[in-house]
Amino acid sequence: MSNDSIRTRRVAELIKHEIATILANDIDDKRVHDVVITTVKVTKDLSIARVFFSSYDKESLLDIEIGLSKAMGFIRKRLMNSVHLKKLPQIIFEKDTTSDNVERLDELFQQIKGE
């Protein structure tokens, strides 16, 4: 495993932890209280961090997305103080569709099993 991949993983885990902490402790917006940060993927050059989120309440995902978008500036400021990198990656929030894909695959397997 290369040093680059170890570094990107460490940065991704650090960003994931810090954003989860910021959302839990520092933001009063009710829309983001049920958010779960599932994964963070950082590009090799550390310029972009894709932050995948989900919620137990699937109907609230659009509201969560709006809340995260509104809180972006605040989150970046907090990250700059807690994540000590030369340059903070651009943060992009994306809905994590993994559970939706798993549910769909499960439905397909049940259909195949029934045939």
Per the structure, the complete domain to which residue 25 belongs is given by 3-114
Other Cβ atoms within 10 Å of 5 Cβ, number:
10
* Structural domain count of the chain: 1
Q: Nearest to residue 91, comparing CAs of 45, 35, 42, 54?
A: 42
On average, the pLDDT of the chain sits at 87
Q: Percentage of the chain surpassing pLDDT 70? A: 84
Give the position of tokens 């829309």: 31
Give the mean pLDDT of 36-62: 91
Q: How far is residue 14's CA from residue 108's CA, in Å, rounded to a whole number?
A: 37
Other Cβ atoms within 10 Å of 51 Cβ, number:
23
Q: How far is residue 69's CA from residue 67's CA, in Å, rounded to a whole number?
A: 5
> Any idea what the CATH number is for the domain that residue 81 is in?
3.30.300.20
Band the pLDDT of 86: cuts 50, 70, 90. confident
Question: In sequence order, which ranges of 38-97 are alpha helices (DSSP H)?
Answer: 61-82
Render pLDDT for 50-75 as a digit per residue (tens, 0 to 9).
999 988 887 888 899 999 999 999 99
Can you give the pTM of this predicted structure? 0.81
Residue 8 clears pLDDT 80, i.e. is over it: yes
Please give the order of strands across the beta sheet that includes 48-55. Answer: 35-42, 48-55, 90-95
